[in-house]
Chain A
Amino acid sequence: MSALKGLLQKEVFHILRDRRTLIVLIALPVVQVVLFGFAIRTDIDGVRLAVVDSAPDYATMALRDRFASAGVFRTVSVVTRTADLDPLFQNGQAQQAIVFKPSFAADLARGEPAQILIVTDATEPNTGSLLQAYAQAVIDGYQRELSASAASSAVRASRMVIAPDVRVRFNPTRASSNLFVPGLMAFVLTIVSSMMTAISITREKETGTMEAMLVSPLRPLEIIVGKVAPYLVIGFVSAIAIIVEARLVFRVPLRGSLLLLLFEAALFILVSLSLGILVSARTSSQRLAMMAALLGTMLPNVLLSGFIFPVESMPWLLRILSNIVPGRWFVAIARGIMLKGVGLAYVWRETLILAVMAGVLLAASVHSFKERLE
């Protein structure tokens, strides 16, 4: 037991001594939460609008006012020719343009269809669709107002409307930070647990100190425990730091049980640590271990976990592949607990999968470590 204590002490010294890595380890969660909260957003605001109005009249002015007061749009440029739009779109000065046909007000007054063209920069398809919907809503509002004042009640009633009453459950403001925090925990825990463990064990191999440990009276299991325990602590501290920071800075809710969340985090850390040990058992150099940990654990946990990108939109092959990514299950659990406030009754399936993964991987990693010893 005292041998294990000695090993633990040595590991702690190693970690504390390498200042640069330590700073990255500490700064990473803090910076990532701020970044994701403020930078990784998909909310749309301040749309840069260009107006093509070759013959301004009262109607086009009224509609332009409506766009200006809608809150979402910011008119950046008013031009008279459609050809002037190209450079505006190409250098990104404008995201959307409304083009009025010359005799707009006259057509309206005569009851002829008054033409408007909405041109949207759809390079990013989702933003494009949303912008189109926003602009159409503004024009619809104007048209309703016109009809109300101009037409008789019989004509007004002739238009049928299905009024959607939209509720966004679990995240009413659709704040992106609420969604990213659970995924962020998975991301940081993977870095700390898988990558650092893998590197730390392969470093012992590279520098030859592993041999020294092997001839010591330490048993293989003790070596593993001694190597991973400090990282388990760091991982746990990072997880708590993220939860606290998310609450303080972004007011991300924690509707469910904190205890359950921490238990699930511990389970996930166990899975990640086992993966780290497995990687280190199969690789011989730090560089290789780093690459393997990066490609084998980090990337899948970021890309295929539903953390940023919805899994259900992916091709079937990737959807199937995502089932063996531990992060996917952890993200689902953490979102359930934090945003929906559900208990074990709703996440038992995901928890069971994580537990099975932890069991299998842990057994495999201890086994592969032993095998290498002989």
Chain B
Amino acid sequence: MRRILFLAQAEVLHIVRDRILVAQILVVPIVQLLILSNAATFQIRNTSIHIVDLDRTSTSRGLASHLAASGHFQIVGTAPSLDAANEGLLAGTVTMVVVIPHDFEASLVRTGVAPVELSVNGEKGSAAGIVQAYASRVLVDYAAELTSRLRPNVIAAKAGMPIPLRGVPRIDVRVRGRYNPTLNYRHYMVPGILVALVTMIGTLLSAQNIAREKELGTLEQLNVTPIRRGEFIAAKLLPFWVLGLLELSLGLIVGKLVFDIPMVGSVLLLYGAAALYLAVALGIGLWISTLVETQQQAMFVTFFIVIIYLLMSGLFTPIDSMAPWVQAISQINPVRHFVTISRAILMKGAGPAAIVEPLSILAISAAVILTLAVRQYRKRVA
């Protein structure tokens, strides 16, 4: 035990002495949180639309003003020319073109149905689907408003009496979005970015660690000391483990103060899960560092693996959208499980019972990867 503490103390001194490293540890996470949470967003805002109004009636103008008033769209063009709108799509300055045909009002009054053409720029990816959903919603609302404003009069005038609404089957649909009622993208991203922070720092630093000792030749010195393999790995892990938890605290504080992220569940439970997860992340880093020869290789391999882990973790895009075989593979991705846990606790207020499955997978991963790291280290010594 004393040996572990001595070695851990040496590690701490190394970390504190390295100014760049300290800056990296303190500044990078905050910058990452601030930039990532603002940049990594699929939130749809300021969607530029071009309205081609070929009808030019009060009804069609009403539709245009409803689109403008919905808050989702920014009207960048109203020239009644299909060519101009098409140019906008090609040049990428327009995300959606709304074409109101010239008999819009007439056919709406006559037949009750009028088409509107929405051309969405598919280049904008997932935004295209959302934009389309937003626009459709505006159309439905506007149609309902028109119905109540125009139709009763028309029908009543024809039939000479108000229409009986009773007897018509009606479904009253209420909609509730849970856990993120304001649909704030940051509330979704920040708990995930916290995981990315802890992962980056934990894995990168620990991977560099043994590789550096190898490069400097100090690993040889350690090898001739009476320290045992398990003790060695434990001593290497300990400082970074504490560092990772500090990092998480830093992230949580910034997240709370700057973004006011929800903390519905128990923060203590989150720390417990983080402690377990860090063992996995650090274990992976240490394992890599026993495999490689130089710091450059260590960073390169780690970087490669961390990128794949992060992209397949559901941090940026939902796991549910991935191809089935990717979803199956992602089960062995520890980042995925911690992202799930972090969001479940912070946003949904999940208790231990709800996160038993990802937690146990993390525990198994920790056992496996640490065993691997210890065994791998022995091979090097022999």
Chain A residues within CB distance 8 Å of chain B: 18, 20-21, 24, 27-28, 31, 35-36, 38-48, 87, 89-92, 95, 108-109, 111-130, 132-133, 136, 139, 142-143, 146-147, 150-151, 154-155, 157-172, 174, 176, 178-179, 199, 203, 286-288, 290-291, 294-295, 303-304, 308-310, 312-315, 318, 332, 335-336, 339-340, 342, 346
B322 touches A38 (CB 8 A): yes
A164 touches B139 (CB 8 A): yes
18 contacts between A and B (CB under 8 A): A27-B304, A35-B308, A39-B317, A90-B349, A117-B173, A118-B176, A121-B179, A123-B347, A125-B188, A128-B177, A129-B130, A160-B147, A160-B151, A162-B143, A163-B113, A172-B122, A288-B20, A332-B92
Choice from B139, B173, B317 contacting A139 with Cβ under 8 Å: B173
Which residues in A have their C-beta under 8 angstroms from that of B165? 111
Which residues in A have their C-beta under 8 angstroms from that of B91? 346
A89 touches B348 (CB 8 A): yes
Task: From known contacts A167-B117, A179-B123, A312-B46, infer whether A118 and B175 are also in contact, taking CB-CB under 8 Å.
Answer: yes
CB of B174 within 8 A of chain A?
A: yes
B355 touches A31 (CB 8 A): no
What separation, in Å, do the CA atoms of A133 and B131 have in the docked complex? 12
What separation, in Å, do the CA atoms of A304 and B320 have in the docked complex? 25
CB of B128 within 8 A of chain A?
A: yes
A38 touches B320 (CB 8 A): no
Choice from A116, A143, A286 contacting B295 with Cβ under 8 Å: A286
Task: From known contacts A42-B317, A116-B173, infer whether A122 and B178 are also in contact, taking CB-CB under 8 Å.
Answer: yes
Interface size on B, residues (CB 8 A): 118
A167 touches B127 (CB 8 A): no
What separation, in Å, do the CA atoms of A170 and B88 have in the docked complex? 13
Within the complex, the shortest CB–CB distance from A132 to chain B, in Å, comes to 5
Which residues in B have their C-beta under 8 angstroms from that of A339? 122-123
> Within B177-198, which residues are at the interface with A (CB < 8 Å)?
177-181, 183-185, 188
B39 touches A314 (CB 8 A): yes
CB of B119 within 8 A of chain A?
A: yes
Within the complex, the shortest CB–CB distance from A353 to chain B, in Å, comes to 14
Other A-B contacts than A139-B171, A165-B116, 17 sampled, CB-CB below 8 A, are A21-B296, A41-B317, A41-B321, A45-B320, A118-B173, A125-B185, A129-B133, A143-B171, A150-B167, A159-B151, A164-B117, A167-B120, A169-B122, A179-B123, A304-B39, A310-B127, A335-B92
CB of B378 within 8 A of chain A?
A: no
Q: Map CB proximity to A onto B35-56 as digits: 1 under 8 Å, 0 otherwise.
A: 1101111111111100000000
Which residues in A have their C-beta under 8 angstroms from that of B382? none
What separation, in Å, do the CA atoms of A163 and B143 have in the docked complex? 9
Closest 8 CB pairs of A and B: A171-B122, A122-B177, A113-B172, A42-B126, A125-B183, A90-B354, A38-B323, A146-B169
A318 touches B38 (CB 8 A): yes
CB of B379 within 8 A of chain A?
A: no
B170 touches A313 (CB 8 A): no
What separation, in Å, do the CA atoms of A207 and B188 have in the docked complex? 46
CB of B155 within 8 A of chain A?
A: yes
B47 touches A312 (CB 8 A): yes
Choice from A48, A119, A164, A174 contacting B178 with Cβ under 8 Å: A119
Which residues in A have their C-beta under 8 angstroms from that of B362? none
Nearest A-chain residue to B21, judged by Cβ: A287
A87 touches B354 (CB 8 A): yes
B181 touches A126 (CB 8 A): no
Which residues in A have their C-beta under 8 angstroms from that of B92? 332, 335-336
What separation, in Å, do the CA atoms of A118 and B172 have in the docked complex? 11
B129 touches A303 (CB 8 A): no
CB of B24 within 8 A of chain A?
A: yes
Which residues in B have their C-beta under 8 angstroms from that of A295? 28
Which residues in B have their C-beta under 8 angstroms from that of A142? 171
A286 touches B296 (CB 8 A): yes
CB of B366 within 8 A of chain A?
A: no
Which residues in A have their C-beta under 8 angstroms from that of B299? 287, 290
B90 touches A340 (CB 8 A): yes
CB of B112 within 8 A of chain A?
A: yes
Within the complex, the shortest CB–CB distance from B191 to chain A, in Å, comes to 9
Within the complex, the shortest CB–CB distance from A318 to chain B, in Å, comes to 6
What separation, in Å, do the CA atoms of A132 and B38 have in the docked complex? 25
Task: From known contacts A122-B179, A309-B41, infer whether A167 and B118 are also in contact, taking CB-CB under 8 Å.
Answer: yes
Choice from B133, B169, B173 contacting A108 with Cβ under 8 Å: B169
B133 touches A120 (CB 8 A): no
What separation, in Å, do the CA atoms of A128 and B343 have in the docked complex? 15
Which residues in B have their C-beta under 8 angstroms from that of A130? 129-130, 133
A115 touches B172 (CB 8 A): yes
Choice from A46, A151, A318, A332 contacting B168 with Cβ under 8 Å: A151
Within the complex, the shortest CB–CB distance from B122 to chain A, in Å, comes to 3
Which residues in B have their C-beta under 8 angstroms from that of A133? 133, 136-137
B169 touches A120 (CB 8 A): no
Task: From known contacts A35-B311, A108-B171, A318-B35, infer whether A169 and B325 are also in contact, taking CB-CB under 8 Å.
Answer: no
What separation, in Å, do the CA atoms of A117 and B354 have in the docked complex? 24
Task: From known contacts A123-B343, A151-B167, infer whether A309 and B39 are also in contact, taking CB-CB under 8 Å.
Answer: yes
B123 touches A171 (CB 8 A): yes
Most buried by A among B46, B123, B323: B123
A115 touches B174 (CB 8 A): yes
What separation, in Å, do the CA atoms of A25 and B320 have in the docked complex? 30
What separation, in Å, do the CA atoms of A142 and B348 have in the docked complex? 32
Choice from B36, B120, B320 contacting A169 with Cβ under 8 Å: B120
CB of B257 within 8 A of chain A?
A: no
B42 touches A310 (CB 8 A): yes
Which residues in A have their C-beta under 8 angstroms from that of B318? 42, 124, 127
Choice from B176, B208, B295 contacting A117 with Cβ under 8 Å: B176
Task: From known contacts A92-B344, A303-B39, A332-B92, infer whether A165 and B122 are also in contact, taking CB-CB under 8 Å.
Answer: no
CB of B243 within 8 A of chain A?
A: no
Which residues in B have their C-beta under 8 angstroms from that of A165? 115-118
Which residues in A have their C-beta under 8 angstroms from that of B183? 122, 125, 128-129
A291 touches B24 (CB 8 A): yes
CB of B371 within 8 A of chain A?
A: no
Which residues in B have their C-beta under 8 angstroms from that of A36? 311
Nearest A-chain residue to B356, judged by Cβ: A91
Within the complex, the shortest CB–CB distance from B7 to chain A, in Å, comes to 22
CB of B365 within 8 A of chain A?
A: no
A164 touches B188 (CB 8 A): no
Which residues in B have their C-beta under 8 angstroms from that of A166? 117-118, 120, 132, 136
Within the complex, the shortest CB–CB distance from B249 to chain A, in Å, comes to 23
Within the complex, the shortest CB–CB distance from B353 to chain A, in Å, comes to 7
Within the complex, the shortest CB–CB distance from B264 to chain A, in Å, comes to 10
Q: Map CB proximity to A onto B9-47 as digits: 1 under 8 Å, 0 otherwise.
A: 000000000001000100010000001101111111111
A160 touches B143 (CB 8 A): yes
B348 touches A123 (CB 8 A): yes
CB of B276 within 8 A of chain A?
A: no
Most buried by B among A308, A309, A332: A309
